[in-house]
Structure 1
Amino acid sequence: MSRLNHDELIASVVAAVGASADASGAADLVFDKGSIVVAASADDLKGAFKRVKKIDGYRWVAINRADLFGANPLSLGSKAGIIDAHGEILKNADIPRRKV
């Protein structure tokens, strides 16, 4: 599959998992399993994982599958999962911690 740009990746994830735009603006998309931040290029990965750490609940970063090796190390400690354009889980999201 060819590399998708930001808008194409959003459209693909929406079609795959039934997500919708996040009204709060904290994430790009929301669906029944949490919030999704989209990182369409390797340059967007660091910012996406920084952004997703601030979101409560289950969190995901949607990437192009080719960026998995760059995304996986950044996901450590973020509790965020990683999904591809087809909605396939590449890394499970961890259970969110309760805020005390």
Structure 2
Amino acid sequence: MLRELIAAGDPITHAALDDHGTGASVEHLRSLLVHTGALTPRDDIGSLRPWLDTLVAGLPTDLSTTLRAYASWSVLRRARGRATRGHLTVNRPGRGGGS
């Protein structure tokens, strides 16, 4: 995957990695790039959008529309609030400890 990203000639960004899905190999490469300083750390809320895209992929349009609306109005709003208060956790970005 890294060779493919380099061969494309575009900057390696979180968005470029998001285009490869949300699998373990993508997240492992992302963590290596962040750890080595080749990629800046990403806020945990940014990781929710690709997860949502994967979640609704292949669902009927009415269901995916409803899930996206709920995620935007409720889950992402709560996650941003928790991030602002410093209560966001890596494993549960939308449901960090204590309110």
What TM-score range do you get, normalising by the shorter chain? under 0.3
TM-score (norm 2): 0.25
Which structure shows the bigger proportion of residues in helix conformation?
Answer: 2
TM-score (norm 1): 0.25
